Amino acid sequence: MSVTELGSRAPAPQPMRLGRRGNRAGERGVEVLLFIAATVGVLTTVGIIIALVFPTIDFFGDVSIVEFLTGDSWTPLFADKEYGVLPLLVATLVVTAIATLIAVPLGLGAAIYLAEYARPKVRSALKPMLEVLAGIPTVVYGFFALVAIGPLIRDYWPGGDKPSFQNLLIASIAMGIMIVPTVASLAEDAMTAVPRSLRQGAFALASSRMQVATRVVFPAALSGIVAAIVLGISRAIGETMIVTIAGGLISDRVLFNPIEGSATMTAFIASAGQGDLPLGTVEYKSIFAVGALLFIITFALNIVSFRLVRRFREVYE
């Protein structure tokens, strides 16, 4: 009954008008706007490259690229200016190496625990805490390294030469903890993506939980785990505030000893960039040259990381 009533009120069918009613220019306009928003990222990349390339080319007009890459003293802010990037590069590598040595075991341990051991309830309590750790501003890490870790290490230092007030070791420790959440969450994603059937197969062969974790899941997730580590390294290289605050600003010689203070690439950029360096001078342009080197290194590491993640996805997704 009711159906016929509905039918009687239905408008007369107009079967031939299947073309567009009104113009849907709005639809097209929206799509164009959305596309423009999506290109902002590309414009940013282009902007970064332009911002780096022109001053860097200028810089190499004044300083030879050989001196830049092989010189062992970096003193653009001194009266006697030298432009050898090795001190900055070595300090960066020292900090990154120590931070990685700290972050990889801790991060992977946390990831294995969360992915293979923790009950869902425990996991859902621990993961937000890792997120909190990841969300702490790096200024805070730097401060803590300088005023808390520094004195602690000096007090208990066994050798004769006490670490300096600012040194690469304390910066590395803080940075190591800072990148734990990065490594842990990506590695955990990789491990949870390993199909359950693989685990069940191993358990059915009387494997213990540790054997399943280390001999089945870990190898299966390896490329994802390596990607997590590479991304962690890339973050360590690019991190600025911790090394600026706690790592020291000396760069007139190459220092491999982590208990001495030494400027990394990012620490140099931050310390030189806050002063009022006159535009167009070589020392001003040196900020951009170091920035370009930093960009190239992190870009290469990011590409490696994506490749690894993609390979991992191809296998399991």
- Among positions 66-105, residues that touch another protein (CB under 8 A) are 105
294 binds another protein (CB under 8 A): yes
Q: Supply angle C-alpha 65, 249, 247, rounded to 5.
A: 115
315 binds another protein, rule: CB under 8 A: no
- Please name the residue that has the structure tokens 């050989």: 66
Q: Determine the interface stretch with another protein among 9-17, 57-65, 84-92, 219-227 (rule: CB under 8 A).
A: 9-17
Of 14-22, 67-75, 85-93, 187-195, which part binds another protein (CB under 8 A)? 14-22
Q: Which of 89, 130, 221, 255 binds another protein (CB under 8 A)?
A: 130
The nearest distance, CB 180 to another protein, in angstroms, is 5
Q: Do 204 and 289 meet the contact criterion of CB atoms below 8 Å apart?
A: no
Distance of CA 76 to the CA centre of its chain: 28
Binding mask 18-47 for another protein (x = CB under 8 A): xxxxx-x-xx--xx-xxx-xxxxxx-xx-x
- C-beta of 25 vs 66, nearer to another protein: 25
For another protein, the binding residue among 98, 187, 191, 241 (CB under 8 A) is 241
- What are the distances in angstroms from CA 45 to CA 39, 40, 64, 212? 10, 9, 27, 43
The letter for the amino acid at 137 is: P
Looking up tokens 């306009």, which residue turns up? 29
Q: Around Cβ 284, how many Cβ atoms within 10 Å?
A: 19
Instruction: Give 83's DSSP letter.
Output: B
H helices within the chain, ranges in order?
2-9, 25-62, 65-70, 86-112, 120-135, 138-144, 150-156, 168-192, 196-204, 209-211, 218-220, 222-238, 241-246, 265-274, 282-316
Task: Give yes or no for residue 195 binding another protein (CB under 8 A).
Answer: no
- Cβ burial of 238 (10 Å; 0-12, 13-18, 19+) is middle
User: Whose Cβ is closer to another protein: residue 54's or residue 157's?
Assistant: 54
Q: Residues 6 or more apart from 6 whose CB is under 8 A from it?
A: none
The owner of tokens 């990789």 is 190
Confirm or reject binding of residue 192 to another protein (CB under 8 A): no
Contact call for residue 159 and another protein (CB under 8 A)? no
Does residue 269 interact with another protein by CB under 8 A? Answer: yes
165 binds another protein (CB under 8 A): no
* Residue 218 found at the interface with another protein (CB under 8 A): no
CB of 217 to another protein, least distance (A): 13
Q: Applying CB under 8 A, which part among 74-82, 219-227, 255-263, 273-281 lies near another protein?
A: 273-281
- Exactly one of 164, 185, 240, 286 binds another protein (CB under 8 A); that residue is 240
Does 156 engage in binding with another protein (CB under 8 A)?
no
Nearer to another protein, 91 or 177 (CB): 177
End-to-end CA distance of the chain: 52
Binding piece for another protein, criterion CB under 8 A, among 57-65, 86-94, 192-200, 241-249: 241-249
